[in-house]
Structure 1
Amino acid sequence: MKTLIFIATTLITLNISAQPKQPVEYPKADIDYSGFTKLTIEAEEHRKTHMASLEDFMKWAKEKDVIVLDTRSKKMYDMKHVKGAVHLNFSDFTAGKLAKVIPSKTTKILIYCNNNLDKDEMYFARKMTPLALNIPTFINLYGYGYKNVYELDRLVPTIGSPLELAGKAVK
């Protein structure tokens, strides 16, 4: 009897596993490449009038209610960043997280990236020019509705820099 039950159970199991599986249909990913391309073109026009000279960047950074935003990795930000900058990793951009860091869509936001700071490959590793972090940062901020964004337009030395730096690696 036990043998019969074992054989029946085995045959049922084999029959079930031999049934062809129905393919699972997953919805399309929430990705809109052509929308991103259109947004990029629109942001590019806006960016032309939102480049900050070093002098303006430094002056504005001292003003009340202006945010200097560092979107590099938290590790690199903790080691060295422009003094007074707040951190939000670019890969963590969402409407909610941006709203926690930036009080209003009209707040003046100053951005910089690795390609703005020279002679410190350890903490400001240079990217290929077309892939500099400022570019997607600007486009994304613009896309989330932050239009008062200004990008530092200079390559500034980290040694003897007019920009004051802060972080664990700053002596």
Structure 2
Amino acid sequence: MIARTDTRAIAFIAGAAGMADRYGYRSMEASMLLPALALLLFTVPDDPAPNPQIDYAGFATLTTDVRASRAKRLLGFDAFKAKAAEKGALILDARSADKFAEGHIAGAVNLPLTDFTAEALAEAIGPNRDRPILIYCNNNFSNHRAPVMLKKAALALNIQTFINLVGYGYPNVWELRDVVDFDDPGVGWTTGAAAKAGV
């Protein structure tokens, strides 16, 4: 195990040694003992080996890489609806299955973010990785009531969904930019039996 030393601790003890020397209390033994004492008291083990199945650095890099492309793929609601009407386009709702059943934009397919795997995405999206995928989340709605309670902006589901889709190899992602009212008939919100039937 490789150890690392707190440099502030070394500086503190070195300072103490300097004061002892200044006032005539430092001896040869003390000069040898102080550094050893510093290593003994302030040496701590390195962080444990990382989990090879969790790559935070890779996630941070992916987030940086996605940022520029995402900025060019934010759509107003009218453009979002027009893009969704294109041949082969898919509206993907990554909220929980329960919230999706309580209400969603008509035509959307549900795959909760927590269920994202390469296999699950392939089943939901199909073999065409360049298929236009349109996403929205709670924070696209002004209603702030079930099933779209407002989330903390920096943790909005759209952000995580966009990054995950690109990370899994689906580059043609488009995100709803606008905040809309799901009570507006133009939004095409479905509830109740229609939503549960997957309409």
Fold match by TM threshold 0.5: yes
Match 2:61 to one of 32, 35, 38: 38
Task: Name the structure, 1 or 2, with higher relative contact order (CA <8 Å, separation 6+).
Answer: 1
Matching of residues 68-87 of structure 1 within 5 Å = 68-87=91-110
Q: Say how many residue pairs are matched.
A: 146
Over the residues paired in the alignment, what is the CA RMSD in angstroms? 1.9
Matching of residues 7-22 of structure 1 within 5 Å = none
- Contact kept? 1:79, 1:170, Cα under 8 Å: no
1:145 maps onto 2:165 in alignment: no
Shift of 1:169: 7.1
Structure 2 CA distance for partners of 1:50 and 1:154, relative to 1, 3 Å = same
Shift of 1:63: 2.2
Deviations along 1:67-90, one digit per CA (max 9) or x if unpaired, are 000000000101100000000000
> For 1:105, what is the secondary structure of its paired residue?
coil
- Contact kept? 1:68, 1:84, Cα under 8 Å: yes
TM-score (norm 2): 0.69
How far apart, CA to CA, are the structure 2 residues paired with 1:115 and 1:95? 26
> For 1:41, what is the secondary structure of its paired residue?
helix
How far apart, CA to CA, are the structure 2 residues paired with 1:69 and 1:79? 16
Residue of structure 1 in register with 2:146 after alignment: 122
1:66 maps onto 2:124 in alignment: no
How far apart, CA to CA, are the structure 1 residues paired with 2:178 and 2:185? 12
Runs of 4+ in structure 1 over 6 Å off? none
1:158 maps onto 2:182 in alignment: yes
5+ residue gaps in structure 2? 1-48
5+ residue gaps in structure 1? 1-25
Deviations along 1:29-86, one digit per CA (max 9) or x if unpaired, are 5100010000000011110111111111011222221000000000010110000000
The structure that is helix-richer by fraction is 2
How far apart, CA to CA, are the structure 1 residues paired with 2:102 and 2:90? 19
Identity of aligned residues (%): 40
> For 2:107, what is the secondary structure of its paired residue?
coil
Deviations along 1:121-140, one digit per CA (max 9) or x if unpaired, are 11101100001000000000
Shift of 1:170: 7.2
Q: Which moved more, 1:45-54 or 1:90-99?
A: 45-54
Residue of structure 1 in register with 2:18 after alignment: none
Shift of 1:28: 2.8
Shift of 1:158: 1.5
> For 1:118, what is the secondary structure of its paired residue?
coil
Q: Report the structure number with the largest CA radius of gyration.
A: 2
How far apart, CA to CA, are the structure 1 residues paired with 2:132 and 2:100? 21
- Contact kept? 1:80, 1:169, Cα under 8 Å: no
TM-score (norm 1): 0.80
How far apart, CA to CA, are the structure 1 residues paired with 2:53 and 2:174? 29
